[in-house]
Amino acid sequence: MNGHFSAVGDQPANGNYDHGCQVIDEEKEFNRNLNDYLQTMRVAEAGFNYHLISVFGSQSTGKSTLLNHLFGTTFSVMSETERRQTTKGIWVSKNKRETSSGTKMADNILVMDVEGTDGRERGEDQDFERKSALFALATSEVLLINIWEHQVGLYQGANMGLLKTVFEVNLQLFLKDKNSTPRSLLFFVIRDHIGVTPLSALQNTLIQDLTKIWSSISKPEGLEQSRIEDYFDFGFAALPHKILQGEKFESEVALLGARFTTGHRVGKGEDGAAESEGGILLPEYHRRIPADGLSVYTEGIWDQIVNNKDLDLPTQQELLAQFRCDEISREVLVAFDLLLNPLEEQQSQASKLGKAIVLPDLGTTASQAREKCFRAFEVQASRYHKGVYSRKKQELESKVDGRLKTLYQGQIAAAHKAGVAAFSEAVSNKVKAGQKAGGAYEFAEIVSNEKKKTMEIFKAEVDSLAIEGVEWTNFVSQNQLFEAELDEVSSKLRKDEIRRLATRVERWVKSRLGDAVGLEFNKLGSGRGGSGAPEEGQKPATEKDLWDRIWKVFIGIVSEAESRFADRAKSFDASDAEVDVGLWRLRRKSWTALREKIEEEVMEGNILLKLRENFEDKFRYDDAGVPRIWRPTDDIEGIYTKARESTLTLIPLLSKFKLLSSNGSPDLIGFIGAQPSGVEAGDEEDLTPIGGVDEEDGKSLEEEMTMLSENKRQDLVVRFKKTADGVYVEAKRSAIGGMTQ
Residues 6+ apart with CB under 8 A from 644: 615, 619, 721, 724
Q: Which is nearer to Mg ion, 136 or 524 (CB)?
A: 136
The runs of H, that is alpha helices, within 437-475 are: 443-464
Find which of ligand GDP, Mg ion, none residue 59 binds, CB within 5 to 8 Å per kind.
ligand GDP
Q: Which is nearer to Mg ion, 144 or 643 (CB)?
A: 144
Smallest gap from residue 110 Cβ to Mg ion (A): 17
Cβ(228)–Cβ(214) below 8 Å: yes
Give the C-alpha separation, 179 to 613, whole Å.
125
At residue 23, what are phi and psi to the nearest 5 degrees?
-90, -45
Find which of ligand GDP, Mg ion, none residue 191 binds, CB within 5 to 8 Å per kind.
ligand GDP
End-to-end Cα spacing for the chain: 177
Which of the stretches 38-46, 63-71, 149-157, 359-367 binds Mg ion when contact is defined by CB under 5 A? 63-71
Smallest gap from residue 302 Cβ to ligand GDP (A): 21
Find which of ligand GDP, Mg ion, none residue 69 binds, CB within 5 to 8 Å per kind.
none
Helix (H) or strand (E) holding 207: helix 199-216
Q: Which is nearer to ligand GDP, 74 or 409 (CB)?
A: 74
Which of the stretches 57-65, 133-141, 536-544, 727-735 binds ligand GDP when contact is defined by CB under 6 A? 57-65
Q: Does 63 bind ligand GDP (CB under 6 A)?
A: yes
Q: Which is nearer to ligand GDP, 87 or 706 (CB)?
A: 87
Among 64, 139, 261, 411, the residue binding ligand GDP under the rule CB under 6 A is 64
Residues 6+ apart with CB under 8 A from 302: 23, 24, 30, 135
Q: Does 69 bind ligand GDP (CB under 6 A)?
A: no
Q: What is the DSSP string of 586-627?
A: HHHHHHHHHHHHHHHHTSHHHHHHHHHHHHHHHHHB-TTSPB
Q: What is the DSSP string of 516-528?
A: HHHHHHHGGGSTT
Using alpha carbons, list the distances in angstroms from residue 272 to 104, 204, 230, 231: 30, 16, 11, 13
Give the C-alpha separation, 258 to 261, whole Å.
7
Which of the stretches 43-51, 56-64, 197-205, 626-634 binds Mg ion when contact is defined by CB under 5 A? 56-64
Find which of Mg ion, ligand GDP, none residue 62 binds, CB within 5 to 8 Å per kind.
ligand GDP
Find which of ligand GDP, Mg ion, none residue 88 binds, CB within 5 to 8 Å per kind.
none
Give the C-alpha separation, 668 to 590, whole Å.
12
Q: Which is nearer to ligand GDP, 242 or 459 (CB)?
A: 242
Find which of Mg ion, ligand GDP, none residue 473 binds, CB within 5 to 8 Å per kind.
none
Q: Does 20 bind ligand GDP (CB under 6 A)?
A: no
Q: Where does residue 181 rank: exposed (0-12), middle (13-18), buried (19+ CB within 10 A)?
A: exposed
Cβ(218)–Cβ(169) below 8 Å: no
The runs of H, that is alpha helices, within 621-693 are: 636-648, 650-655, 668-672
Cβ(573)–Cβ(444) below 8 Å: yes
Smallest gap from residue 239 Cβ to ligand GDP (A): 6
The runs of H, that is alpha helices, within 528-603 are: 546-571, 576-601
Give the C-alpha separation, 702 to 700, whole Å.
5
Find which of ligand GDP, Mg ion, none residue 183 binds, CB within 5 to 8 Å per kind.
none
Among 77, 253, 502, 561, the residue binding ligand GDP under the rule CB under 6 A is 77
Q: Which is nearer to ligand GDP, 1 or 433 (CB)?
A: 1
Q: Which is nearer to Mg ion, 62 or 527 (CB)?
A: 62
Among 11, 22, 31, 87, the residue binding Mg ion under the rule CB under 5 A is 87
- The rounded Cα 300 to chain-centroid distance in angstroms is 41
Site for Mg ion in 613-672 (CB under 5 A): none
Which of the stretches 80-88, 356-364, 464-472, 655-663 binds ligand GDP when contact is defined by CB under 6 A? 80-88
Smallest gap from residue 7 Cβ to ligand GDP (A): 16
Which of the stretches 41-49, 75-83, 459-467, 691-699 binds ligand GDP when contact is defined by CB under 6 A? 75-83
Find which of ligand GDP, Mg ion, none residue 117 binds, CB within 5 to 8 Å per kind.
none
Site for ligand GDP in 189-218 (CB under 6 A): 191-192
Which of the stretches 238-246, 321-329, 524-532, 710-718 binds ligand GDP when contact is defined by CB under 6 A? 238-246
Find which of Mg ion, ligand GDP, none residue 136 binds, CB within 5 to 8 Å per kind.
none
Q: Does 60 bind ligand GDP (CB under 6 A)?
A: yes
Of 563, 532, 405, which is closest to residue 478 (Cα–Cα)?
405
Q: Does 659 bind ligand GDP (CB under 6 A)?
A: no
Find which of Mg ion, ligand GDP, none residue 468 binds, CB within 5 to 8 Å per kind.
none
Give the C-alpha separation, 262 to 280, whole Å.
6
Smallest gap from residue 86 Cβ to Mg ion (A): 5
Site for ligand GDP in 492-531 (CB under 6 A): none
Find which of ligand GDP, Mg ion, none residue 454 binds, CB within 5 to 8 Å per kind.
none
Smallest gap from residue 119 Cβ to ligand GDP (A): 9
Give the C-alpha separation, 561 to 563, whole Å.
5
Q: Does 64 bind Mg ion (CB under 5 A)?
A: yes
Within 10 Å of residue 567's Cβ, how many Cβ atoms?
A: 10
Which of the stretches 241-249, 369-377, 538-546, 601-609 binds ligand GDP when contact is defined by CB under 6 A? 241-249
Which of the stretches 58-66, 300-308, 424-432, 437-445 binds Mg ion when contact is defined by CB under 5 A? 58-66
- The rounded Cα 531 to chain-centroid distance in angstroms is 79
Give the C-alpha separation, 206 to 188, whole Å.
9
C-alpha count within 13 angstroms, C-beta hemisphere, residue 178: 3
Q: Which is nearer to Mg ion, 9 or 530 (CB)?
A: 9
Q: Does 59 bind ligand GDP (CB under 6 A)?
A: yes
Cβ(561)–Cβ(505) below 8 Å: yes
Among 242, 587, 597, 618, the residue binding ligand GDP under the rule CB under 6 A is 242
Give the C-alpha separation, 115 to 24, whole Å.
10
Q: Does 451 bind ligand GDP (CB under 6 A)?
A: no
Which of the stretches 54-62, 227-235, 424-432, 615-623 binds ligand GDP when contact is defined by CB under 6 A? 54-62
Q: Does 54 bind ligand GDP (CB under 6 A)?
A: no
For the stretch 316-320, contacts whose Cβ atoms lie closer than 8 Å and that sit 24 or more positions apart, written own/partner, are 316/138, 317/289, 317/384, 317/385, 318/385, 318/387, 318/388, 320/289, 320/293, 320/296, 320/384, 320/385
Residues 6+ apart with CB under 8 A from 493: 424, 427, 428, 431, 447
Give the C-alpha separation, 459 to 482, whole Å.
9
CA angle 533, 535, 540 (to 5 degrees): 65
Contacts with ligand GDP by CB under 6 A: the residue count is 18
Cβ(12)–Cβ(75) below 8 Å: no
Among 241, 286, 453, 570, the residue binding ligand GDP under the rule CB under 6 A is 241
Among 11, 22, 33, 86, the residue binding ligand GDP under the rule CB under 6 A is 86
Q: Does 61 bind ligand GDP (CB under 6 A)?
A: yes
Q: Does 311 bind ligand GDP (CB under 6 A)?
A: no
**What does the binding site for ligand GDP look like in residue numbers (CB under 6 A)?**
59-65, 77-78, 80, 86-87, 116, 191-192, 241-243
**What does the binding site for Mg ion look like in residue numbers (CB under 5 A)?**
63-64, 87
